[in-house]
Amino acid sequence: MEEKKAKVVEQKVEPEPVKPGVAILDMAVIEGVGAGVARIVNELLVTRLARADVFGSVIGSSDIAQMVTLEQQKVLLGCEEESCIAQLGGALGVPLMIVPGIGKLGNEFVMTLKITDVEAATVKVRQSITVPDEPAMATGMEWLVDASLAEFTGQPMPPMPVLKRTAPLAPVGLSPVLKTSLVVGTGVLGAGLVGFGFLQAADSRSEFKDRQDVDSFRRLEAAVQTGNRVAGVGYTIIAGALLWGLY
């Protein structure tokens, strides 16, 4: 019997491509955007990039401060040239740096994002989007990240979102019936205070008529002053109710 030798077919398993690491700088605020808003938008950027699963590691700005020495921070502080960004990327050991920016232009906001190649010290991706107001920044940042990653990986660009300005909240008004009831009630309250003010000195007047002495006169004088103050408050409330009813 002939022995059949089994042929072992070796299959070459190609290793998966290594995903590059990336570091994200703090959001560069150009003008017209609060620091709190910029931090929130920056967090949205980091979260969106981490979920995209395009990069092997994502280093945020807080990590950068811990990884770079104080001397390096002093040298790189305030430098926006590509050579400085590349130098920072080299210090962090990542091949790519992401530089986000935001600023106000007229009544709208411009959001930018660029991806810099550390070794070549050149910008590989540059994208921007204009949003009408702060509530639209979240959607704008999502598109900005997706568009930048599409350009970086050579994928089709996502469609530009249609962003509309958020309508201001309409003031809550009172119904005519409720307003009339409140006006009448307020007027009645004022009239009650006026009447109470006049009655405040009634007992003191009777006492003064009976006794006709200095002590009863002083008590009458004090009661009249108190009554006048209470009546004055009542007149003020009535006037306010009338104005409220007219307008």
Q: How does pLDDT run across 97-111, given as a tens digit for each residue?
A: 898 999 999 999 999
Residue type, 103: G
Full-prediction pTM beyond 0.75? Answer: no
pLDDT score at 2: 47
Please compute the mean of the pLDDT values over residues 78-85 and round it to a whole number: 66
User: Which pLDDT band holds residue 79 (cuts at 50, 70, 90)?
Assistant: low
Measured from the Cβ of residue 97, the count of other Cβ atoms closer than 10 Å reads 26
Q: Does residue 96 contact residue 59 with C-beta atoms inside 8 Å?
A: no
Query: How confident is the model over 204-208, as a mean pLDDT?
Result: 73
167 band by pLDDT with thresholds 50, 70 and 90:
confident
Q: Can you list the alpha helix ranges (DSSP code H) found in the chain?
A: 35-52, 61-67, 70-76, 82-92, 137-153, 176-199, 202-211, 214-246
pLDDT, one tens digit per residue, over 30-68 is 888 999 999 999 999 998 988 888 998 888 777 776 776
β partners of residue 108: 105
Distances (CA, A) of 137 to 45, 212, 238: 11, 80, 49
Q: How confident is the model at residue 146 (pLDDT cuts 50, 70, 90)?
A: very high
